[in-house]
Amino acid sequence: MIIGIPKEIKKDEYRVGIVPSGVRSLVLAGHKVIIEDGAGLGSGISNSEYEFEGAEIVPSAKDVYLRADMIMKVKEPLPSEYDMLREGQILYTYLHLAPAPDLTKALLERKIIAIAYETVQLDDGSLPLLIPMSEIAGRMSIQEGAKYLEREKGGRGILLGGVPGVAPGKVTIIGGGIVGTNAAKMAIGTGATVTILDASLYRLRYLDDIFGGRIRTLMSDSHNIMESIKEADLVIGAVLIPGARAPFLVTRGMLSDMKEGSVIVDVSIDQGGCIETSKPTSHSNPIFVVDGVIHYCVTNMPGAVPRTST
């Protein structure tokens, strides 16, 4: 099989679909690997590193799509790539089709065999290809949220961890899955006061156990969400329904009760977002403000740390 890796063209996306060790494994298994010139540079991987492991470097994405039986990417194809896809070609990438009807239609019309990383499940229901990116996005959500709480960035001027004699900031995390758990780890590490809401009592018991009572756990319902975000300096949207659009758990009406200069990081945005006022943003233009609340809704958060996430 010929396996092709094009350069990512989504705005501010620096990851690449394969690392050199992956090339070696595929070549040893009898496959041919072709990689677009410069595809790995954003992740600090040179053409020569790929060539050393047996890959062929080709001049353009068109060459990759024309020759490859299977395309390996990081993010979904953009409209400019649709016409390069060939009938029967295998596409292996993060697709997030729930909020993307045009992409879904394009894949169906071209009869593409599309495998979405984020929906690959093991027998126990876990999502092995989504988990690493969720871990990164969860940890980044606190890092980015803390930055935009700074006054210079338009935030409340809050240091999440506080200092002796000054109370720490309050973080509310909606969703106690992989993103929410990793966000909690980072938030607790800063010294913030942390609340996690989830619809599963079993999950809340687990979180209470692993964090040793260092967090407050609440059942996720509209009343608890509303009361929690009123108090919060930073709200993390960490809701996932695999393969489906995220539900709106924070409505526009709830937003008016939040503190001016507070921050929302909606990690769920790649599945449509769990905050009604969310809309996709990019790393180069990551925020917007609604009712005095800063919204950070970058759809490819791990793309900012490609050396870690690739």
Q: Which alpha helices (DSSP H) does 191-288 contain, by range?
A: 201-210, 222-231, 252-255
Identify the CA nearest to 274 among candidates 243, 235, 219, 227. Answer: 235
* Cα–Cα distance measured from residue 300 to residue 214, given in angstroms and rounded to the nearest whole number: 30
Torsion-angle region of residue 164: left (phi > 0), alpha (psi -120 to 50) or beta?
A: beta
* Per-position b or e across 59-77, b if 16+ CB within 10 A of its CB: eebebbbeebebbbbbbbb
Structure letter (DSSP) for residue 134:
H
Q: How many CB atoms lie under 10 A from the CB of residue 118?
A: 22
* Cα–Cα distance measured from residue 297 to residue 277, given in angstroms and rounded to the nearest whole number: 10
Long-range contacts from 242-247, C-beta under 8 angstroms, 24+ separation? 242/118, 242/119, 242/121, 242/127, 242/130, 243/97, 243/98, 243/116, 243/118, 243/119, 244/98, 244/271, 245/98, 245/99, 245/271, 245/272, 246/98, 246/271, 246/272, 246/273, 246/274, 247/274
Tell me how far CA of residue 281 lies from CA of 10, 100, 140, 235, 273, in angstroms. 12, 15, 15, 17, 12
Catalytic residue among 63, 96, 233, 295: 96
Active site residue 257: no
Catalytic residue among 63, 198, 233, 270: 270
Active site residue 291: no
Structure letter (DSSP) for residue 232:
-
- Catalytic machinery residues: 96, 270
